[in-house]
A and B are shown apart, each in its own frame.
Chain A
Amino acid sequence: MRKAGRIGFIYLSLFVALILTVMPMPQLVKLARPDWVLLVLMYWTMALPQRISVGTAFFSGFIVDVLVGTVLGVNALAFSVVIFIVAQHHLKIRNFSIVQQSLLLGLLLALYQLLLFWLSHFLTGVYFMPQYLWPVVTGMLVWPWLFWLLRRYRRQLKIQ
């Protein structure tokens, strides 16, 4: 029972990230909203790749697609690809300092935005605007705090 509760924390954090993704915000803040779900998924993939990896990423991406109203499968695909890369290199990424992690994650977040743009461009013909990349910057800034918070709870609850 207690073990189930600990695993439940992972899904609780994902659930909170999903809520943050659709929470109403002022326009200026909204443009720069970090990709919460992807960041949380990245943390758990890095910490527990045997529990959370491509499968969870796919389903979370699918839920994001439904919530956001993009073409179904776009976020699912982009999440899966990015989380695949994180899962493949989780041992390396874990050993980086927090600043290096942030920079690397910035690259991965940019890859996510790029995938999302390519797929949307192919499917619905959107135009590219530089402000689409704001979430990459805010994601990099948010990462150290998110990392610290999630690691604290993971250690406290001894989730493995």
Chain B
Amino acid sequence: MNQSYSRGSSLPLRLFLAVVCSAGLMFLDRYTDSSTQLRSYLTTAVSPLFYVASLPETLFSGASEQFMSQQAVLDENARLKETLLQQSGQLQLLRYLQQENEKLRALLGSSAVIEDKRLVAEVLAVYSHPFSHQVVLNKGTKDGVTEHQAVIDDQGIVGQIVSVGPTSSRALLISDNTHAIAVRAERTGVRAIVEGLGQWDALRVMHLPHSTDIREGDRLLTSGLDGRFPEGYPVARVSKISQDASQPFMVVYAEPYALLDRIRHVLLLSNTPRMPEQPEEPAAGAAPQEQP
């Protein structure tokens, strides 16, 4: 044990070095752009760990599927067929509407909506640390994933891709503290920005003046004005409004549609940033709603 004493003297020095190194890392990561590349390399390096970590769950769900009774499978199959039929029925109408919409847009002389390509990905790991709401997905550059792609599930917007490795990628959820998304209220068309709070079931609608027409239950859709998310996808439902005249703005909370804490499969939308190069209404639509 004498050994530990003889080397104990350098402990403060080692701490000093560690503190200096971490401060450097933090600065590099937060205030410069160079870390994006580094982070994608590091994500690649540790991605086997995510595969190992999700192994028990994969095995477990595989086993439970294996032992599912035939009746349950048949029931599920019938149910799925029914939904498929219903949805393909709706899809037929959608095709027609899309065509009509394109024609109308052409008549108006506005830019056409580019059809999105989609990619299904599976969630490898959800990290639930309150300070970082991120998920790791099992698709990477090899599958054509790029940064800033929008991620959705069957209910609504989930988040966006922030770093990509060859076989895995990392998505930032809309509930993360550092995330903001431009939305529009479906009922009134009021534009706003929705920020994450670090909570799974609550987002905050920022900077709405007290006179804004917004009600509990209003659907908030993406407005596409942030240049990241395509227009028209559901984001959240207004859940709580408190009007306190002492506050400069209304305090509005919204509940995300996507079940952020139990996502399993997600869709990646290819990013077709339809930035309004020729604004449809020259003056009125030019209010900048960009987020940093």
A: residues with CB less than 8 A from B are 18-20, 22-25, 27, 30-31, 33, 49-50, 53-55, 57-58, 61-63, 65-74, 76-77, 80-81, 84, 87-88, 90, 116-117, 119-120, 123-127, 129, 131-132
A73 touches B22 (CB 8 A): yes
B 35-53 contacts with A by CB, 8 A: 35, 39, 42-43, 45-46, 49-50, 52-53
Question: B93 at the A/B interface (Cβ < 8 Å)?
Answer: no
Q: Are B53 and A123 in contact, CB atoms less than 8 angstroms apart? A: no
* Bound complex: CA A129 to CA B52 (Å): 31
**B125 within 8 Å of A (CB atoms):** yes
Contacting B21 at CB < 8 Å: which of A30, A74, A76? A76
Smallest beta-carbon distance A44→chain B, Å: 13
Interchain residue pairs with CB less than 8 A apart (25): A18-B49, A22-B50, A23-B54, A23-B125, A24-B125, A49-B4, A55-B18, A62-B25, A66-B43, A67-B49, A68-B129, A71-B26, A72-B26, A72-B39, A73-B21, A73-B29, A84-B14, A87-B11, A90-B4, A119-B26, A123-B26, A126-B130, A126-B131, A127-B197, A132-B130
Residues A54 and B262 in contact, CB atoms below 8 Å apart: no
Which of A50, A72, A77, A84 is within 8 Å of B28, CB to CB? A72
CB distance B134 to A69 under 8 Å? yes
Q: Is B289 an interface residue (CB 8 A)?
A: no
Bound-state CA distance A67–B47 (Å) is 9
Is B19 in contact with chain A by the CB < 8 A criterion?
A: yes
Minimum Cβ distance to chain B for residue A147 (Å): 19
Q: Which residues of A contact B49 (CB under 8 A)?
A: 18-19, 22, 67
Indicate if the CB atoms of A66 and B42 lie closer than 8 Å: yes
Asked if B25 and A55 make an inter-chain contact with CB atoms under 8 angstroms apart, the answer reads no
Q: In the complex, what's the smallest C-beta–C-beta distance from B161 to chain A, in angstroms?
A: 12
In terms of DSSP, what is the predominant structure of the interface of chain B? helix
- Whole-angstrom distance between the Cβ of B205 and the nearest chain A Cβ: 16
Contact of B14 among A53, A116, A132 (CB under 8 A): A53
Interface string of B106-131 (1 = CB under 8 A from A): 00000000000000000101111111
In the bound complex, residues from chain A placing their C-beta under 8 Å from that of B45 are 66
- Give the chain B neighbours of A24 by CB distance below 8 A: 53-54, 57, 123, 125-126
Closest to B26 in A: A73
- Do the beta carbons of B24 and A73 come within 8 Å of each other? yes
Residue in B28, B53, B177 whose beta carbon sits within 8 Å of that of A22 in the complex: B53
- What residues of B have a CB within 8 angstroms of the CB of A84 in the complex? 11-12, 14-15, 18
Contact with A along B181-201 (1 / 0, CB 8 A): 000000000000000011110
Which residue of A has the minimal Cβ distance to B170? A69
Q: Which residues of B contact A117 (CB under 8 A)?
A: 131
Chain B: CB-nearest residue to A131: B130
CB of A30 to closest CB in B, whole Å: 4
B22, B25, B197: most-surrounded residue (chain A CB, <10 A)? B22
Q: Which of B52, B123, B129 has the most CB of A within 10 A?
A: B129
Find chain A residues with CB under 8 A from B54 CB.
23-24
A24 to B264, CA, bound (A): 11
Q: Contact at B177–A116, with CB atoms within 8 Å?
A: no
Q: Are A63 and B28 touching (Cβ within 8 A)? A: no
Q: Name the one of B24, B127, B177 contacting A124, with C-beta atoms under 8 angstroms.
A: B177
Evaluate contact between A72 and B177: CB separation under 8 angstroms: no
Smallest CB separation, B257 vs chain A (Å):
17
Q: Cβ of B14: which chain A residues have Cβ within 8 Å of it? A: 53-55, 84
Known contacts A22-B125, A124-B131: A66-B22 contact under CB 8 Å: no
Contacts of A77 in B (CB 8 A): 18-19, 22-23, 26
The residues of A that contact B130 with a CB separation of less than 8 Å are: 126, 129, 131-132
CA distance A76 to B26 in the complex (A): 10
